[in-house]
Structure 1
Amino acid sequence: MASPQIPPSSSSSSSSSPLHRLPTFTDSSTNAEPPQPSPLETFASDPVFSAFLSPSFDSAAFSSQALSSGSAAARAESLQDSIRLLNRHLRSEVLSRHPHLLSSLLSLRQASTSLSSLRPAVDSLTSSLQRTRQDLATPRAVLKTRTIQLKNLLATADLLHHSERLLKLASRLSDERLDLARAAELHREARVLYEEKELAGIEAVDEQMRSLGEAADKLRAEAAAAAERGMDGSNQNDIWIGLQVYYNLGELRLAVDALVSKYKVVGIKSINTALDMKAISTAASSGGLGGPGGVQRSGTPQIGGGRRAGEALWDRMRHCMDELYHVMAAVWQLQAVLTKKRLPFTQVLFLQEVWQEGEPLLTERVWEALVKAFANQMKSAYTASSFVKEIFTIGYPRLCSMIENLLERISRDTDVKGVLPALSLEGRDQMVGAIETFQVSFLALCLSRLSDYVNTILPVSSRGTIPSKDQILRLVSRIQEEIEVVRTHGPLLHLVLRQIATVLHLLAERAEYQISTGPESRQVTGPVTAAQLKNFALCQHLQEVHSRISTTMGTLPDSASKILSRSLNEVYSVACNSVRRLFESMLERLKSCIIKMHEQDFGGHTTDDGALFGNSASPYMEELQKCTLHFRSEFLSKLLPASSASRTETICTSLVREMASEILVYFIRHASLVRPLSEAGKLRMARDMAELELAVQNLFPVEQLGPPYRALRAFRPIIFLETSQLVQSPLLHDLPRSVILHHLYSRGPDELESPMQRNKLTVTQYSLWLDSQGEDQVWKGIKATLEDYEMKVRARGDKEFNPVYPIMLQIGSAMAQSASS
C-alpha cells in the first residue's frame, strides 16, 4: 500500500470524503482556552493516515505497502489507536447534540399523526372516481359501436363506388373500336383499381376480372405478334404498337426481356443445328445415317459421302449465318424503337424503362450469347469431328468469308444516324476469334504444304542438288494459289503472307546452302565450270521466284506487299550471292587490264620504231576486249536473255550493268591520272576510249549506262580543250570534279606534284585510297599539293603562277562547297 498522503483539509461539510463530511471534533463550549486540533486535522498532517482522507483510497494497496515495509504489527497497533480515538470523538459529538436529535424525533411523530387524518379523505375520493367511471362507460360503448358502423358503411360505399368504376372500365374494354394501346391502358387501370382497393371477393367483380384476364391474354398475344412482325419485317411502327401495349399493361421490361430471349434462343438453336452431324448426315444421305454418303458417329463421312456431307455442312452454315443476321437485325430494330420513343409526360426514353446504365444493350446481350454458343460449337466440332475439322480447316477462307459477310451485313444495315449500331469493334473481333482455332490450323496447313515442297526440291541433306525450272515454277504457282484464295480477306491475307514469308526465308536458306563457293566458281580465265553452271541455274531460279512473286505483290495493297519485302530481299540477296563472286572476279580481271594503261607511254610523240601512233588500240585495251568477249561467250550468254530486245531488268542484268559502269568509271579515273599526256598521247587515249565503248558493248548496251557513259563521252573532248576553255565548258557537268582536277595535273608544270606523287604512292594504292574517300577528302589532298606549289613559286620570287593553278583552285572551291552542302 502506498504511504498515505493526506492533503490539507478542514472539517467543512463540502469535502468529498466521508470523514470530511463529519462535523468538527472541537468542543462546542466556548472557553478561553485555544481550541484543540480535531482527529481529522491530526490525520491530515500525518503521513500515514492522510491516505484515508483521499477519495481514491485503496485498502489493498495500503495493506501491501504496510506488509512490504516490515512494520505491519506497529502499523496495525497505530490503526487500532486511531479507531479508538475516533470512537471517543463520535460519542462526544452525539452527547453534545442530544437536544437537537430529540427535537428532530418529535417532528417525525407529528408528521405521522397528520398523515393518519388524511386517509379517510383519500378513500372518499377513490369511491367518487369509481362511480364516475361507471357513468361514462355506457356512452363510450355506444359511441364505439356507432363509429364502427360508420366506418363499415363508408368502406362499403367505397367498395361499391370502385366496383362500379371497375365494371364501367370492363364494359368499355368490350368496345371493338378501341385500339390496342388504349385497351391495354384501360386494362391496367382496372387491374390497379382491383388490387389497390382490394375488390377481391365481390362476385360480380371477380367474374369481370376473369374476363379481363382473358382480354389481357389476347392483348399480349396481339402485342407480341405486332412486335415480332415489326422486328421481322423491319417495320418500326408495328414494333412501337406492341411496345405501347406492353407499357400500358405495365409489363414493358418483362415483354422486352421475353422478346430478346426468344430471338436469342432462335439464334442459338440455328448454331446448334448447323453443326448437328446427325442432321447433316440425313441431308447428305438418302439412306439415312447408315446409307451411302452418311456421316458415322465418329463424325467421319462414309465412303463416297464426303463431298455431299461437306456441301450439306456448308449449306447449313449459310443458313445459320442468315439466321444470325435475322436475329441481330430484329433485336436492333427493337432497340432502335426503344431509343427513339419517349414517355408521353416525362419525356424519358423507353429504353431507360428496360435498361440501366452500366448494363449491356439488347444487341450486346444477344450477340454475346450467340458468339459464346458459336465458339463452343466450333470448339466442340474441332475436337469431336475430324470431318468438320478437315472441312473447316481446308475451307477456312470460305468460312472466314461467311463470317465477314455476316459482320458486314449487320454493320451496314444497322449503321443509321442517331442510333447505335448493332455491332461494336469488340463484338466483331469476338466473332472472328470464335473460329481462331480453324485459322491456326489453316495457317499451319498452308505453311506445311509450302515448306514440305521446299524441303523436297532443296533437301538439306543433299548438297549440290538444284531444282528444275518446272519445280520452281510449281512452287511459285502454289504460292500464288495460296494468295489468290485469301486475296479478298484483308487480315487473313496478311497472316497467309507471313507464312509465305517464312517459306521464302526457308527457300533462301536452302538455296544459300547449295551455292558453290570453291575456286572453280570464281575462275574467269577458262571455260565455264560445272560449279558455275550450277550457281547460274540457282540464280535464275531464285530470280524467277523473286520476279513472279514481286509481280503478284504489285496487285496487292501496300500493307500486304510490305510483309513479303524482307523475305523477297533475302531471296534476291541469295540470288546475287550465287554469282556475285564470279562478277567480282570478272571486274577485278578487267580492272587489272585497265590499270596497265600506266605502262603505256602517253607522253611521247612517236612509237618505238619512230613512227607516229597508229590507229590500233593499246595493248591493254586489246587485252580488255579479249576478256569481255570471253566473258560474254562463256558466262554472260548463259546468264542474260538471248535477245537484247526482250531483255528485262533481272539480277544478272543489274550485276552486268553495275560491272560495266564500274569499268567506265575506273577507266576515266586512271585516264585522268595519266601524266604526262602529249598531243599524240591524247589521240591514243581517245582511240582507247572508242575501243573501250566497243569492249563494254560486249557486256551491256553502253548507251544505257547513264552517267558513267556520259562521263566517258565528256572526257574525250575535255582532253583536247585548251586549259583556258575548261572552266566555261558545259562538259564539266558530266564529270566528277576530282577527275577534272587530276587531269589538270597533266597540263601543269612538273613541280606541281599530284597527291599520288607527293605521298609516293603507287597507282594501285592511290586508286584504293580514292575508293575509300569522299570528294571532300580528295580535295584536301589536292589542295595540299597546290599549297606546296604556291610555296615553291613564292620561294623563287616569281609573281605569276601556271594557268592551271587558279583553275584548280576555282574548281576545288566549288567542289568543297558541294561536299559541305
Structure 2
Amino acid sequence: MTTTMTTTTTTSSTTTPRPHLQKLPTFKEPAPPPPPSPLEALAGDPIFSAFLSPSFDSAAFSSAALSSGSAASRAESLQDSIRLLHRHLRDEVLLRHDSLLLSLSHLSSLSSSLSSLRSSLSSLSLSVRRARSDLSDPRRLLSLHTSQLHNLHSAAHLLANVSKLLKLSSKLRNNIGTLDIAKAAEMHREIHLLYEEHDLSGISVVEDEIRWLDQSGSRLRSDAMASVERGMDSSNQNDVWCGLQVFYNLGELASTVDVLINKYKSAGVKTVGSALDMKAISASSSPSSFGPGGVQRSGTPQIGGGKRAGDALWERMAKCMEELHRIVMAVWQLQTVLSKKRVPFTHVLFLHEVWQEGDPLPTDRVWEAIVKAFAGQMKSAFTASSFVKEAFTHGYPKLFSMVENLIERIERDTEVKGVLPAIGPEGKEQMVAAINVFQTAFLALCLARLSDYVNGVFPMSSRGSIPSKDQISRLVLRFQEEIEAVKFHGHLMLLVLREIGKVLMLLAERAEYQISTGPESRQVTGPALPAQLKNFALCQHLQEVHTRLSTTVASLPNVAADVLSPSLGVIYGVACDSVTSLFQSMLDRLESCILQIHEQDFGGNGMDMTMDNSASSYMDELQKATVLFRNEFLSKLLPSSSRSETICTQLVRRMASRVLIFFIRHAALVRPLSESGKLRMARDMAELELAVQNLFPVEQLGAPYRALRAFRPVIFLETSQLAGSPVLQDLPPSVVLHHLYSRGPDELQSPMQRNRLTPLQYSLWLDSQGEDQVWKGIKATLDDYELKVRARGDKEFSPVYPIMLQIGSSLAEATSSQ
C-alpha cells in the first residue's frame, strides 16, 4: 500500500503542467456537488431510517418485515445496503490511509510507555504502604491521648458545676429562712438554670438537691401567689409587686400572670352564672314545705314564693355586681403594678414581659369574659325564665342602675393619673348592651301601659266623652312616675322620654278628635253652649298636661327638654286650637264694635255735644260685649289665681292688646275731629279702659296701654307742639301720621281716602304691612298734596305737612339703619 501511494505521488509530481490560459474563467463550469453519503440516503429511506433511530428494536422490525408480505424483496434491499456500506467503508479507509498508519505507530510507542509506567506505579504503591505503616501508630496514640484529655476536661467542668450547684444549694438551704423571698427565688432560678444548662441529671447527689429545690420552689410559689392575691384583693400594690418579683426571678412571670387572669375570668363567669341560677334562688327563698329546690320546670318559683324569689334575685344581682367590681379591681391592681415596675438593669416594664403590642390588656381580657358571660346569661334568662323576664322587665331601671353603678364605681376607682383605666368606652357600651333585651321589653311595656291609659281616657268609640279632671291628673301622675323612675339614668331617661313623647302625640290626636268645630263652637252672642264647654274642658285638660310635664322636664337636663319639647308643643297647639276660634270670634265682635267709630260724628261743635258726658253708642256695645265675654266664657277659661299664666290667659292678653291697638288705629283715622269731638273721644278712651278691664288688667298690657294713654294728650296738643312732644315715643309713627290728616286741609287726603278703601279694608292692609310700607303710602299722599299746592301757585303748605315729612324721614332713617 505504501508503494502504491508513493508511485501515485511521483506520477502526479512529474506531470507537465497545463498552460495558464487553457480555459477562460468565463467558461469554467461549476464543480458537481459531492454525492450523498450512504448514511444520508438511508436516513431518508422509510425502511432503513428505522436502523438509525436510538430506539431501534430488531424484533419489532423483523416482525413487521415478515408480516408485510415482501420479506424476500426487503432482504434483498438489506443485502444491497450492506454491500453499499462495505464499499463506502473501503473508500473511507483508502482515503485516510496515511493518518491510520500514523495512528498505528503512535499506538506502539504508547504501549511501551505504559509498560514503564506500570513498573513505576508498583514502586509508588510499595512506598505508600510502607509510609502508612510508619504513621498509623503515632496517629492512634494521638487520638487516644486527645480523647483522654477531653474526658478529663469534661469531668473537671462537670465537677466544677456540681460543686457550684451544691454550694448554691447549701447556701440557699442554710439561709432560706432569713433571705428575702425574691432573693431566694433568684437563687432558686440560678440553681435550676445551672442544672439544666450543664445537664447534671443522673448524679445522685445533685438529684437529691434538686428534689429539695423543687419542694422549696413550691413553697416560694405558694408564698408569692398568696402575696399577689392578697395585694390584689386589698389594693396593696407593694404585696403584688413583691409576689410578681418572685415569679420574675423564677422565670415564670408570663405564665403566672396568665394563670391569675384565667382564674379571675373563671371567677367572674361563675359569679354571673350563679347570680341567675333560678334553682338556687328558689331554694333560698322557698320554705321547706315546697320540697327540694321548690322550682318548677319553667324556672318559675312555686306559688306564693314569687315575692321572696324576686327579693332573692335582686339580692343575688347586688352581690354579683359587688363581686364583679372586686374582680375587675383586683385585675386592675395587677395591671397597674405591671405597668409601673421595671426589670432591674434592663429597665423594661414588667407589662412588656407578659404583653405584646396589639394584644388585649389583662383588664380587657377579664372584662370581655365577664361581658360575654353576662350577655349570655341575660339572653338565656329572658327566653328560658318567665319569672326573671318579668322581674327584670318591670324592674329594668333597677337593673340598669346596678350596671350603671358598677361601671361608674370601676371608672371612679381606677381613675388614676398616668395609669390606664380598667375599662374603656367600648367596654361600657358592651356591658349596657348586654341588658338591651330587657331594655327593649321595658320600653315596650312603658309605651303599652301609658297608651292603654290614654285609650281608656279618650276612647275612639265615643267622640263626645270628655275625661274628668281626676283622670287627667292620674294620667299626668303616671307620666311623672315613669320619668321619676329613670331621672337619674341619663341614657335610659332619654329613651323613656321618647316613649312618653309618642304617648303625648297619641293623646294630642285623641283630644283633637274630640274638639267641636261647628258654628256653635264660635258663637259669642249668648251663653256658652255644650260644645263650647267641651272645648273649654279639653283646653284645660291639655293645658294641665302641658304645664305639669313642662314643670317636671324643667328640673331635668336640657337634652331631656329637647326630647320632649316637640310632643309638648303639639299638646300646646291642640289646646290652643280648641279655643282659638272662640277667641277669634270674640275679637271679631269687638273689632266690629270699634269700627263703628267711623259712623260717629266727631266733627261737630255744638254745646249739647260738649255737655254730654255719656259714652258713644259703639262704646256701650263694646262694654256689653266684654261683660258678656267675661261672665259667659272667660270666667270658665281663666284660672282663679291671676298669677298663673295659661293658654287662655295669653289669648286674653293678646285680645285685649289687639283691642287697644285697633282702637288707637281707627281713632287716629277719624276725620274731621273738632274740639268737641276730641272731648268725646277722650271719654270713649276712658270707657275703653273700663271695657278692656273686663278682659284683662289694662295696666299689665304694657306698650298697647301706654300707647292708649299717650294718644289722649296727643289729640289735645297744638300742631306746633307735636314735633317735640315726648308722648310720641309711646305711639307708632303711623298712628301719629294718620292723626295729623285730621288737622290738615281736605285736599290732603289720607291713603284710605286716596285709594277709596273702607276702614275695614284699610285696617286689614295695615295689618299686613310694616311701618316703612305705611310711610310709603302716606308719602304718596303728601306728594300729591305738594303738586296740588304748587299747581295753584301757593308758596305755603299746611303746618302738618313739614311735621309729617319730619316724622316720616325719621322713620325712613331708622328703617334703613336696621
Quote the residue 2:510 is aligned against: 510
Shift of residue 92 of structure 1? 9.6
Q: Does the C-alpha gap of structure 1 residues 426 and 768 become closer, same or farther in structure 2, counting only changes over 3 Å?
A: same
The 1-side partners of 2:369 and 2:465 are apart by 57
Shift of residue 558 of structure 1? 1.4
The more displaced of 373-382 and 117-126 is 117-126
Contact 2:609–2:676, Cα closer than 8 Å, also in 1: no
Quote the residue 1:560 is aligned against: 560
Residue type of the alignment partner of 1:165? K
Contact 1:299–1:386, Cα closer than 8 Å, also in 2: yes
The 2-side partners of 1:458 and 1:590 are apart by 35
Residue type of the alignment partner of 2:743? R
**Displaced runs of 4 or more, over 6 A:** 27-31, 33-36, 40-43, 87-97
Contact 2:265–2:366, Cα closer than 8 Å, also in 1: yes
Shift of residue 492 of structure 1? 1.2
Residue type of the alignment partner of 2:241? W
The more displaced of 777-786 and 34-43 is 34-43
The more displaced of 381-390 and 30-39 is 30-39
Contact 1:270–1:320, Cα closer than 8 Å, also in 2: yes
Q: Could you list the per-position Cα deviations for residues 577-605 of structure 1 after superposition, in whole angstroms to 9, with x for gaps in the alignment?
A: 10111111111111111101101111111
Quote the residue 1:697 is aligned against: 693
Aligned partner of 1:741 among 715, 731, 737: 737
Quote the residue 1:322 is aligned against: 322
Q: Could you list the per-position Cα deviations for residues 448-483 of structure 1 after superposition, in whole angstroms to 9, with x for gaps in the alignment?
A: 111110000101121111100000000011111111
Aligned partner of 2:782 among 779, 783, 786: 786
Q: Does the C-alpha gap of structure 1 residues 289 and 122 become closer, same or farther in structure 2, counting only changes over 3 Å?
A: farther
Q: Could you list the per-position Cα deviations for residues 483-533 of structure 1 after superposition, in whole angstroms to 9, with x for gaps in the alignment?
A: 111111111111111111111111111100000011111111121100001
- Corresponding pairs, count: 754
SS for the counterpart of 1:177 is coil
Shift of residue 130 of structure 1? 1.9
The 1-side partners of 2:289 and 2:189 are apart by 54
The 2-side partners of 1:761 and 1:108 are apart by 152
The 1-side partners of 2:124 and 2:510 are apart by 129
Quote the residue 1:763 is aligned against: 759
SS for the counterpart of 2:190 is helix
Residue type of the alignment partner of 1:685? M
Residue type of the alignment partner of 1:581? S
Quote the residue 1:499 is aligned against: 499
Shift of residue 742 of structure 1? 0.8
Contact 2:610–2:679, Cα closer than 8 Å, also in 1: no
Contact 1:606–1:613, Cα closer than 8 Å, also in 2: no
TM-score normalised by structure 1 residue count: 0.88
Quote the residue 1:431 is aligned against: 431
Q: Does the C-alpha gap of structure 1 residues 112 and 289 become closer, same or farther in structure 2, counting only changes over 3 Å?
A: farther
SS for the counterpart of 1:719 is helix
Quote the residue 1:161 is aligned against: 160
Contact 2:279–2:299, Cα closer than 8 Å, also in 1: no
Does residue 273 of the first structure (1) align with residue 271 of the second (2)? no
Quote the residue 2:75 is aligned against: none
Contact 1:396–1:439, Cα closer than 8 Å, also in 2: yes
Q: Does the C-alpha gap of structure 1 residues 245 and 642 become closer, same or farther in structure 2, counting only changes over 3 Å?
A: closer
Alignment of 1:611-650 (within 5 A): 612=610, 614-642=612-640, 646-650=642-646
Q: Could you list the per-position Cα deviations for residues 248-294 of structure 1 after superposition, in whole angstroms to 9, with x for gaps in the alignment?
A: 11000000111111111111111111111111112112317537x94
Residue type of the alignment partner of 1:739? V
Does residue 597 of the first structure (1) align with residue 593 of the second (2)? no
Quote the residue 1:230 is aligned against: 231
Residue type of the alignment partner of 1:636? L
Quote the residue 1:188 is aligned against: 189
Residue type of the alignment partner of 2:482? E
Contact 1:516–1:532, Cα closer than 8 Å, also in 2: yes
Alignment of 1:240-259 (within 5 A): 240-259=241-260
Contact 1:295–1:309, Cα closer than 8 Å, also in 2: no
User: Between the two proteins, what is the percent identity of the paired residues?
Assistant: 68
The 1-side partners of 2:619 and 2:651 are apart by 22
SS for the counterpart of 1:302 is coil
Shift of residue 735 of structure 1? 0.8
Q: Could you list the per-position Cα deviations for residues 685-717 of structure 1 after superposition, in whole angstroms to 9, with x for gaps in the alignment?
A: 111111111111111111111111111111111
SS for the counterpart of 1:200 is coil
Quote the residue 2:728 is aligned against: 732
Q: Does the C-alpha gap of structure 1 residues 294 and 91 become closer, same or farther in structure 2, counting only changes over 3 Å?
A: closer
TM-score normalised by structure 2 residue count: 0.88
Quote the residue 1:142 is aligned against: 141
Does residue 331 of the first structure (1) align with residue 331 of the second (2)? yes
Shift of residue 684 of structure 1? 1.0
The 2-side partners of 1:290 and 1:372 are apart by 34
Task: List gaps (5 residues or longer) in structure 2.
Answer: 1-11, 37-43, 45-85
Shift of residue 218 of structure 1? 0.9
Shift of residue 613 of structure 1? 5.5
Q: Does the C-alpha gap of structure 1 residues 338 and 590 become closer, same or farther in structure 2, counting only changes over 3 Å?
A: same
Contact 1:522–1:582, Cα closer than 8 Å, also in 2: yes
Residue type of the alignment partner of 2:517? T
Contact 1:281–1:288, Cα closer than 8 Å, also in 2: no
Does residue 213 of the first structure (1) align with residue 214 of the second (2)? yes
Residue type of the alignment partner of 2:612? G
Does residue 818 of the first structure (1) align with residue 817 of the second (2)? no
Q: Over the residues paired in the alignment, what is the CA RMSD in angstroms?
A: 2.6
Quote the residue 2:101 is aligned against: 102
Contact 2:665–2:735, Cα closer than 8 Å, also in 1: yes
Residue type of the alignment partner of 1:757? Q
Contact 1:458–1:510, Cα closer than 8 Å, also in 2: yes
Q: Could you list the per-position Cα deviations for residues 529-555 of structure 1 after superposition, in whole angstroms to 9, with x for gaps in the alignment?
A: 000010011111111111111111121
SS for the counterpart of 1:667 is helix
The 1-side partners of 2:88 and 2:401 are apart by 118
The 1-side partners of 2:617 and 2:90 are apart by 162
Contact 1:325–1:406, Cα closer than 8 Å, also in 2: yes
Quote the residue 1:23 is aligned against: none
Residue type of the alignment partner of 1:282? A
Residue type of the alignment partner of 1:189? E
The 1-side partners of 2:561 and 2:164 are apart by 80
The 2-side partners of 1:386 and 1:583 are apart by 55
Quote the residue 2:406 is aligned against: 406
Q: Does the C-alpha gap of structure 1 residues 617 and 211 become closer, same or farther in structure 2, counting only changes over 3 Å?
A: same
Shift of residue 815 of structure 1? 1.4
Residue type of the alignment partner of 2:524? V
Quote the residue 1:284 is aligned against: 285
The 2-side partners of 1:96 and 1:371 are apart by 104
SS for the counterpart of 2:108 is helix
Residue type of the alignment partner of 2:125? T
Shift of residue 190 of structure 1? 1.0
SS for the counterpart of 2:738 is helix
